[in-house]
Amino acid sequence: MSALDLTIFDPMLKDHYSDKEVPKLAFQKNTALGLINKSNKKMVGGRKWVQPFGYALPGGGSSTFATALAAAGNTSLYEAWEVTRTKHYRLGKVDNETIEATATGDMDAFEPAFDEFDRVIKAEGNYINFRFFRSKSGSAGRLNNAGVATAVGILVDASDVWGWRKDEVAKLSAQSDGTALKAGTLTVLSVQRQAGTLTFTGNISAGVGTAAITDYLYLDGDATLASAGLADWIPDTAPTNTPFYGVDRTIEPDFLGGIRIDGTTGASIANLLVDAVAAVQNLGGDPDIAFMNPLTFGTLSKQLEGKWAISSAAGFDGRKVAGIGFNGFKVNLNGTDLTLYTDRCCPQKRIYVLTWSTWTMFSAGPAPNFLQRRAGSIIKVSETSDGYEARVGEYYNFCCDSPGHNAVILLA
């Protein structure tokens, strides 16, 4: 005679669900975007964002009057950044039955399916924050592989994993400017965020027949169409004579292309920060914040070992953390108070020392935004299924009025 066991009694057993809030692992704090939204964001329409600036006082002076009288170049010099907007889109779709089945409260679901539309906005905010640290080429990483007959892509900078998730489609190019995309695509199967690797659904060489071990990766549709971020305004190398938003930056590569501090030879991060602040001050800037990856900040903390007096965490306005959404650590360098912020999207091999007042994010309408709001609703009935959809996106870009008042530290 068999005994009543769990297999037989299974239909009568209950599942016990956790009473804790559902963790949102993909919800990350976007420090840079949060600071921009508070102090440096402009909503404007029109054709483009134009920022005039002067970069030279009158020249042609001489100890000889006749020479000064005949001198050329004796006027101030002016230029203007003429920055155009870029576009980005994201669609959220939810099946109507799923909405109805989850709309009656926590007896039926942990959260309403309708909240998916809020998550689409959050995803777009993540994207904008990621692009702030990168270039208008649309690049979202570079391979550092030993070979391409593998499904694993090793990224040069591990922070680029924050531009990817499962099912994203990648294009490859040997060029860093987003041109000459290679035939074929790769689809992301999984992301190893600590290791800084992407695993694709098949070998890299199978998806892109001409793939190379140092190719750049681009989200499908982004190449050459992204916003101009820190990597453009303060490039790793002195700018070339290729016009950048209408300006030849080689005339004054430091004033117009920012300061570069070489930290690849092993100097401590603390000393490099001192050098960056001094270099920016030397060009007339007043740096007040620095962005670095959390792992880079960890290295700095270990290097300091009590050598610096770091005040208790402070918000951007200098107040203590309580009630402040984005907090950092304040230090005094060269007589200047510098607040250090961490952002997961900041490259691990870059630190940006910025004069924050020189930066602007401009957009036609809010960014990110529900693009259908002017039609009377943030959602619309799907034209292809029994459900609803929301179109989210923005028309925006970043501008720096004085690149020379900012610096990038290049780390090994």
Confidence of residue 253 (pLDDT cuts 50, 70, 90): very high
**Residue 321, pLDDT score:** 36
CB atoms within 10 A of CB 27: 12
Q: What is the mean pLDDT of residues 400-409?
A: 97
Amino acid (one-letter) located at 355: T
Amino acid (one-letter) located at 301: S
Percent of the chain with pLDDT over 90: 77
**Residue 306, pLDDT score:** 62
**Residue 326, pLDDT score:** 53
- Rounded (to 5) percent helix, strand, coil in the chain: 25, 30, 45
CB atoms within 10 A of CB 5: 8
Asked whether the whole model's pTM tops 0.85, one would answer yes
Tell me: pLDDT of 341 over 80. Answer: yes
Tell me: pLDDT of 312 over 80. Answer: no
CB atoms within 10 A of CB 290: 26
Tell me how far apart the terminal alpha carbons of the chain are, to the nearest angstrom: 72
Residue 272 has which token pair? 């490099």
User: C-alpha angle 210/236/302, rounded to 5°?
Assistant: 105
Which CATH number fits the domain 24-58+77-136+227-412, given the four candidates 3.30.70, 1.20.120, 3.30.980, 3.90.1690?
3.90.1690
Residue 293 has which token pair? 């990856």
Tell me: pLDDT of 342 over 50. Answer: yes
* Short-list 362, 389, 363, CA closest to 378: 389
- For residues 327 and 389, the model is more confident at 389
Tens-place pLDDT, residues 97-128: 999 999 887 788 888 999 999 999 999 999 99
**Residue 320, pLDDT score:** 41
* Short-list 350, 341, 249, 333, CA closest to 286: 333
d(CA 375, CA 3): 65
Omega prior to 287 cis, within 30 of 0: no
Half-sphere exposure of 122 (CA within 13 A, CB side): 11
**Residue 254, pLDDT score:** 97
Q: What is the mean pLDDT of residues 160-178?
A: 98
Sign of CA dihedral 385, 391, 392, 395: positive
Worst-scoring range by mean pLDDT, 48-52, 120-124, 334-338?
334-338
User: C-alpha angle 108/113/119, rounded to 5°?
Assistant: 140
Q: What is the mean pLDDT of residues 153-162?
A: 98
Residue 401 has which token pair? 């009025």
Tens-place pLDDT, residues 313-325: 544 444 443 333 4
Mean residue pLDDT across the chain:
91
Q: What is the mean pLDDT of residues 307-334?
A: 58
Tell me: pLDDT of 260 over 90. Answer: yes
Q: With helix as H, strand as E and coil as C, how does 267-281 read?
A: CCHHHHHHHHHHHHH
Sheet holding 327-333, edge to edge: 259-263, 407-411, 350-354, 289-292, 336-342, 327-333, 314-315
